Structure 1
Amino acid sequence: MAPVVLALRRLPNPRLTGLGAGLFASATMLVLGFLDWLILDGSPLAYGLLFLPVSALTALWVRTADLVTAPISVPIAFAVGVVPISGGTGGFGGQAMAVVTALAVQAGWLYGGTLVAGLITSVRKVRDMGRRQRATARPTAPQRRSAP
């Protein structure tokens, strides 16, 4: 096998529940939002670029039974993480308006990450359905009857 494939197989392969995947994505995006705010003064480009791999990891690490939750939890995580970089002032109303504005301005990144998560979970689901179909289509060996 190629060394890249062997290196990828050594990486952790967690299986998160739907709730766990949502919490992972939200916590990661919140931390990345604060780091972006501290280091890059809230760069929307950096935040959007960091959102794409988080979306992919969330879709890859969610359990097969909870695949539908990844494309749902990823946009929520984006909204959670955009709070630190939105730059709102003037109390709760000003902060809420800044978050809504940031979500509208960065909608391309939001749609892109959601599309990444949706494509990965769709491919995983199709592969799982094929695996199940092959498992049920295997001919079973005839059982021998024991002589009395």
Structure 2
Amino acid sequence: MEQSIRTQPPGPRRRPPGRGAGEAAVPGQSGPPESRLRSASGARTGPPALKRALQRVLAARQRRGGGGTGGGTGSGSGRPARLTAVGTGVAAAAGALAFAGVDRLLFGGLGVLFGLGYLVVCFQLAVRVRYSDLAAAPICGPIAFAAALVLLQPGPSQGVTGEVVALAGGLALRAGWLFAGTALAAAIVTARYVAQRRHRRARLAG
């Protein structure tokens, strides 16, 4: 007993390293509270949890953006806005009347500028119409062409019969532009239809 007291060095007894005054060990737990918190947070936010969170975010974005390849806006994925059948008719009328008005204002009639504008309008309609309303592009174009002739074709008003005769004459004189624009729209929508059908078949086969 006296020997053990002599061999013990004088002064305060040393504490075990790695544990401060405020890091007392809790019975049944191995390690200080900070290390336990770090391990718990690392387990919650580790790579598997982060991967699952990213997958949920991507799935929510796909649902909001509309994953279908048909119509829809698709603004989140960078696709151009698609026109419905009503939107296609409004765009066709607005474009044809705008080009006809500019042509008449600058050149006093409906000539080459109106014909070129009609081609541009038909192209845009066929490209931007949504898949479920493809037939609207080649139909709305000629209607807008005829409406522009009725409203902005120069000539005196001669009643209903005179308007019909003037419209028939205007369509006959500009039949080349009318057929070219309508054929362009029909070719584009047909190509889109065929490409979409092939894409669906390939996706189902794969």
Give the TM-score range, shorter chain: 0.7 to 0.9
Identify the range of structure 1 (57-66 vs 88-97) with the bigger mean alpha-carbon deviation. 88-97
Q: Which residue of 1 aligns with 2:105?
A: 38
What is the aligned-residue RMSD (CA, Å)? 1.7
When the two structures are superposed, what TM-score results if normalisation uses the length of structure 1? 0.79
Aligned residues: percent identity?
36
Summarize deviations over 1:101-143 as a string: whole Å, max 9, x none: 11111111100000000000011111100111111111xxxxx
The answer as to whether partners of 2:110 and 2:153 remain within 8 angstroms in 1 is no
2:180 pairs with 1:102? no
Q: Which residue of 2 aligns with 1:7?
A: none
* Count of aligned residue pairs for this structure pair: 128
Larger radius of gyration: 2
The answer as to whether partners of 1:25 and 1:74 remain within 8 angstroms in 2 is yes
Unaligned regions of 5+ residues in structure 2, if any? 1-77
The answer as to whether partners of 1:52 and 1:112 remain within 8 angstroms in 2 is yes
When the two structures are superposed, what TM-score results if normalisation uses the length of structure 2? 0.58
Q: Secondary structure at the match of 2:150?
A: coil
Query: Greater helix percent: which structure?
Result: 1
Which structure exhibits the higher relative contact order, with contacts defined as CA atoms closer than 8 Å and separated by 6 or more residues? 1
Q: Which residue of 2 aligns with 1:129?
A: 197
Counterpart CA distance in 1 for 2:81 and 2:150 is: 28
Residue 91 of structure 1: how far off its partner (Å): 3.7
Q: Secondary structure at the match of 1:42?
A: coil
2:193 pairs with 1:115? no
Unaligned regions of 5+ residues in structure 1, if any? 1-10, 139-148
Residue 45 of structure 1: how far off its partner (Å): 1.6
